[in-house]
Amino acid sequence: MQELIQQLINGLSLGSIYALIALGYTMVYGIIQLINFAHGDVYMVGAYVGYFCMARAHLGFFTSLVIAMLVCTVLGVVIERVAYKPLRNSTRIAVLITAIGVSLLLEYGMMFFVGPEVRAYPPMPGFMEASYNIGGVIIRAQQLLIIGISLILMIGLQYIVRRTKVGKAMRAVSQDADAARLMGINVDNTISLTFALGSALAGAAGVLVGVYYNSIDPLMGILPGLKAFVAAVLGGIGLIPGALIGGYVIGAVETLVAGYGFSMYKDAVVFAILIAVLMVKPTGLLGKNVREKV
Amino acid sequence: MTEILSVKQLTRNFGGLAAVSNVSMHLTQGELVGLIGPNGAGKTTVFNLLSGIYPPSSGTITFTRGEKVRELGGRKPHSICRAGVGRTFQNIRLFKDLTVLDNVSIALQPNEPNSLLASFLHLSSHQSAEVRIREQSLELLDIVHLRDKAGELARNLSYGEQRHLEIARALATRPTLLLLDEPAAGMNPAETSGLTDLIAWVRKEFDLTVLLIEHDMSLVMRICERIYVLDHGIVIASGTPTEVQANPKVIEAYLGEEVD
Amino acid sequence: MSNRYARIGVQVVLLALVYGIVWALINAGVIDDYIQATMATICINIILAVSLNLITGFTGQFSLGHAGFMAIGAYTTALVTMEYPTTWGFLGGVFLGAILAAIVGFLIGLPTLRLRGDYLAIATLGMAEIIRILLLNFDFTNGAAGLSGIPSFVGWTWLFVFTVGTIVLISNFLHSSHGRASISIREDEIAAESVGINATRAKTLAFTVGAFFGAIAGGLYASYFYFIKPDLFGFLKSIDILVIVVLGGLGSLTGSIIAAILLALLQTFLQPFPELRMIIYSLALVMIMIFRPQGLMGSRELNLASLTRLTRRGRAAEGAS
């Protein structure tokens, strides 16, 4: 029982990371029906920015976090404007292929400029190295940090989406871009904002992962990106609460599978979940059925 | 005269909305029947239910071809097509990047044998099937006066020609029942007149039963023997053209729409 | 009728010439091992590209998991040839691998092919990853270390035979009712269904056939390069193949062949700079999609008929002036 709780706590941290990344996927898919393959690599860039801030510029953790989020925000918007916007009227396959291209560009560009080797994050200030023992279950301060920061960011996102005008614009464009345009909403800027928010969250996730797992490399975004996408699909693609639920479920499942001795198969299990969801209920746990109009 | 299509209490819901509600219709062999109603009445939804694009939420669709009696509800479109129901679409759905000839050939080919091995090796059985398919396709194109454009890409045809090609393609499926969804949409009076003659001729030549959705009343009144009127998913009237024209409920449903 | 036989005759003669010339050059030592390796890569790329194009370009089913089929072919061929190191063993391995991949393709295809474009892409990617992870963890595949010392039976002859064979068979398939059915599904699946095409069956068929030939490419790879490991057949390999198909033109076999050659040459030249190669690849991918999404050939083909038309027009123009 204790073991289970321990695993679940570990799963919460991982789940928070997946949820943060999944939110970006789901928002972008909700608004322009694109699987942004490059999103996982934005997360990777965030991790590197955090690294350079802390290891080279010797900035504090929270400062680095904010800088990473800012850089990723800009990166996300630039990608959208340069690579996706010209293809707004192209086929789905064309945009997907472009997204793959951008993803590869980020990965190998990073490899080219900073080298492929794995880097370690510098040691964290004392308060972040602590761990607490509660009834035999060990909770590390970093885990609380991840869960805490993730929750704050997600609440912030929820506030923006539900309570602000721009958030309303995002929801409107998701439902019907043409109608939104007719209502005077600047669709282009709304789409860019969506990318901005999602990328900011991914950047934050990157720094948190760098701190928690301590190692970063240019290809670190591929697998977590895919798994976060699975999380978004599981919860219900296009739905923000879905990304949250999906993220935590995938985080829990992966941790449990690894914790009970099958860690070589943990990735396969996540992909199997994807296949299962697509087979049984492609709209995800929270999704509704939508049919093409003939 | 045998009853070829019997629709009973057909209903289709989308979420909370009843697009089609307890619609009942029947067609006898050889009839040319019209399905009219204001925009959004559910006419195309009825066609989509008949041709299998959505399954019914409830109700039955019974189709009789010769000796065989089949329930169509819930079947997939290709199976309904093979059973003998052909259709055209309101928004033309041709294979735009294929040639005119290929558009028709694709509809013809299910009637020819096609072993995988023969296809891979281009054996003589494949060759002779291809020749037959080509010949029959050209004959059908003749009917709609598109034979000389057989090699053109479908996207390069004029709008009226595309509508004709869709009809040729529907005929290629060797149907007993033909569903035409607004075949005259976007046509001028001269083209519409030509189309009306074509439909009448085709019906006689191929011994078809035709169910026709149209907004153009000149076409409907000229060739339809009976008419069903749909409004908000319900049949509000049915009968001969004269009966329907005089029906106050029909007039009320169309108030505000174009009057002919 | 005689026209058709004449066309086939000319093509056979041309192929025999190509085969013969290369064979002679190899024997004379003009084509060394290094060039041969590039040629092998070209041939394997062509088979991979043509088989993926069938699925994605002609039938419109976006598959991001083609490397998975290649892996099945490679590992089956490797294991069978290591057990039975003869030419028949090699051939048996290749065909067994192809059939296995076809079965897997069929089983995967049946449930997933009803998914929409981007979902299908992710599902196929997931499937290929599952295959790779399984190969990584089975004992008999030697896990991450891979299989080495695979007996080599592939030289110019088998490369030529399998490459030409693949092109001919797939081209024949496309110029048949099966091919038309595939293309109609790509154009408009609902319309295709409405004229009697069983879309599920046609899509699954294309997927299975594509898987079969993808595995053959894998078998050739294993037997020529005599070392394989699971990471060779990951997501990046699937993307490699996709880049070839997209560059050549989704829906053009000649495009796939030309692009396969170009990219194999690029890969060989840039071998000392792997990151640069990937940066060029990815930039090219984005550029193509923005500025020329139809790739080199669009959906046009270069064949004997179009070539003769070119020269006839040229001669006619000369004659007129």
Residue C142 and residue C139: Cα distance in Å, rounded? 5
The values of phi and psi at residue B137, to 5°, are -65, -45
Q: Is C52 in the same domain as C17?
A: no
Task: Give me the mean pLDDT over the C116-145 stretch.
Answer: 87
Q: Is C75 in the same domain as C141?
A: yes
Q: Which of A179-188, B216-225, C126-135, C269-278 has the lowest mean pLDDT?
A: C269-278
Q: Is B122 left (phi over 0), alpha (psi -120 to 50) or beta?
A: left
Closest chain C CA to residue A37: C122
Task: Give me the mean pLDDT over the C245-269 stretch.
Answer: 90
Q: Is C17 in the same domain as C79?
A: no
Q: What is the pLDDT of residue B174?
A: 93
Residues of A in contact with B44 (CB under 8 A): 294
Using CA atoms, how far residue B124 sits from A94, A103, B132, C251, C314, in Å, is 39, 49, 12, 26, 35
Q: Is C156 in the same domain as C10?
A: no
Q: Over the stretch B10-38, which tens digit does the pLDDT of each residue have?
A: 999 987 888 999 999 999 999 999 999 98
Task: Give me the mean pLDDT over the A101-107 stretch.
Answer: 93
Closest chain A CA to residue C64: A97
Q: What is the pLDDT of residue A289?
A: 64
Strands B177-181 and B209-213: parallel
The count of residues in chain B is 260
Cβ of C187 within 8 Å of Cβ of B129? The answer is no
Sign for the CA dihedral angle at A137, A142, A145, A147 comes to negative
Residues of C in contact with A294 (CB under 8 A): 190
Burial class (CB in 10 A: 0-12, 13-18, 19+), B151: exposed
Cβ of C278 within 8 Å of Cβ of A108? The answer is yes
Helix (H, G, I), strand (E, B) or coil at C148: strand
Q: Is C209 in the same domain as C141?
A: yes
Closest chain A CA to residue B54: A291
Residues with Cβ < 8 Å from B135, sequence gap 6 or more?
Answer: none
Task: Give me the mean pLDDT over the C254-264 stretch.
Answer: 93
Q: What is the pLDDT of residue C128?
A: 93
Q: How far is A287 from chain B (nearest CA, A)?
A: 13
Residues 101-160 of chain A with CB under 8 A from chain C are 101-105, 107-109, 111-112, 116
Helix (H, G, I), strand (E, B) or coil at B78: helix
Q: Which two tokens stand for residue A189?
A: 């800027």
Using the Cβ of C244 and the Cβ atoms of chain A, whether some distance falls under 8 Å is answered with: no
Q: Is C70 in the same domain as C20?
A: no
Q: Over the stretch B41-69, which tens digit does the pLDDT of each residue have?
A: 899 999 999 999 989 999 999 999 888 89
Confidence band (pLDDT; 50, 70, 90) for C309?
A: low
Whether residue A292 is predicted with pLDDT greater than 60 in this model: the reply is: no
Residue A274 and residue B241: Cα distance in Å, rounded? 56
Q: Is C5 in the same domain as C129?
A: no
Whether residue C306 is predicted with pLDDT greater than 90 in this model: the reply is: no
Write the DSSP symbol of residue B100: H
Cβ of B122 within 8 Å of Cβ of C176? The answer is yes
Whether residue A290 is predicted with pLDDT greater than 70 in this model: the reply is: no
Q: Is C6 in the same domain as C120?
A: no
Following CA atoms A223, A229, A230, A234 in sequence, which dihedral angle do they give, to the nearest 10 degrees?
Answer: 160
Confidence band (pLDDT; 50, 70, 90) for B221?
A: confident
What's the one-letter identity of residue B112?
A: E
Task: Give me the mean pLDDT over the A133-160 stretch.
Answer: 86
Beta bridge partners of A138: A133
Does residue A10 contact residue A62 with C-beta atoms inside 8 Å?
A: no
Confidence band (pLDDT; 50, 70, 90) for B199?
A: very high
The domain spanning residue C282 has which CATH number?
A: 1.10.3470
Confidence band (pLDDT; 50, 70, 90) for B258?
A: low
Q: Over the stretch C199-227, which tens digit does the pLDDT of each residue have?
A: 999 999 999 999 999 999 999 999 999 89
Whether residue A13 is predicted with pLDDT greater than 80 in this model: the reply is: yes
Domain of residue C13 covers: 1-31
Burial class (CB in 10 A: 0-12, 13-18, 19+), B91: exposed
Q: What is the pLDDT of residue B259?
A: 55
Mean pLDDT of all residues in chain B?
A: 90
Mean pLDDT of all residues in chain A?
A: 88
Q: Over the stretch C27-76, which tens digit does the pLDDT of each residue have?
A: 888 878 888 889 999 999 999 999 999 999 999 999 999 999 999 999 99
Q: Over the stretch C156-197, which tens digit does the pLDDT of each residue have?
A: 899 999 999 999 999 999 999 999 999 999 999 999 999 999
Write the DSSP symbol of residue B41: S
What total number of domains does chain C contain? Answer: 2
Q: Is C80 in the same domain as C17?
A: no
Residue C256 and residue A18: Cα distance in Å, rounded? 38
Residues of C in contact with B107 (CB under 8 A): 195-196
Q: Is C212 in the same domain as C310?
A: yes
Whether residue B257 is predicted with pLDDT greater than 80 in this model: the reply is: no
Q: What is the pLDDT of residue C314?
A: 43
Residues 32-71 of chain C with CB under 8 A from chain A are 56, 62
Whether residue A20 is predicted with pLDDT greater than 60 in this model: the reply is: yes
Q: Over the stretch A268-286, which tens digit does the pLDDT of each residue have?
A: 899 999 989 988 888 888 8
Write the DSSP symbol of residue C176: S
Residues of C in contact with B106 (CB under 8 A): 180-181, 184, 192, 195, 197
Q: What is the pLDDT of residue A4?
A: 83
Whether residue B256 is predicted with pLDDT greater than 70 in this model: the reply is: no
Spell out the domains of chain B, with CATH numbers in brackets: 1-84+175-260 (3.40.50.300), 95-173 (no CATH)
Q: Over the stretch B105-131, which tens digit does the pLDDT of each residue have?
A: 999 988 887 888 888 888 888 888 999
| Residue where the block lists tokens 């506030």 | A159
Whether residue B84 is predicted with pLDDT greater than 60 in this model: the reply is: yes
Residue B210 and residue B195: Cα distance in Å, rounded? 14
Nearest CA to C58 out of B92, A265, A93 is that of A93
Does residue C94 contact residue C219 with C-beta atoms inside 8 Å?
A: yes
Using CA atoms, how far residue A72 sits from A97, A192, A196, A208, in Å, is 22, 13, 8, 14
Question: Interface partners of A (3+ CB pairs, < 8 Å)?
Answer: B, C
The values of phi and psi at residue C270, to 5°, are -95, 15
3-state secondary structure B170-217: HHHCCCCEEEEECCCCCCCHHHHHHHHHHHHHHHHHCCCEEEEECCCH
Q: What is the pLDDT of residue C320?
A: 42
Q: How far is B130 from chain C (nearest CA, A)?
A: 8
Q: Over the stretch A78-92, which tens digit does the pLDDT of each residue have?
A: 999 999 999 888 887
Cβ of A294 within 8 Å of Cβ of B44? The answer is yes
Q: What is the pLDDT of residue C138?
A: 87
Whether residue A288 is predicted with pLDDT greater than 80 in this model: the reply is: no
Cβ of B106 within 8 Å of Cβ of C173? The answer is no
Using the Cβ of C129 and the Cβ atoms of chain B, whether some distance falls under 8 Å is answered with: no
Q: Is C5 in the same domain as C82?
A: no
Helix (H, G, I), strand (E, B) or coil at B97: coil
Q: Is C175 in the same domain as C155?
A: yes
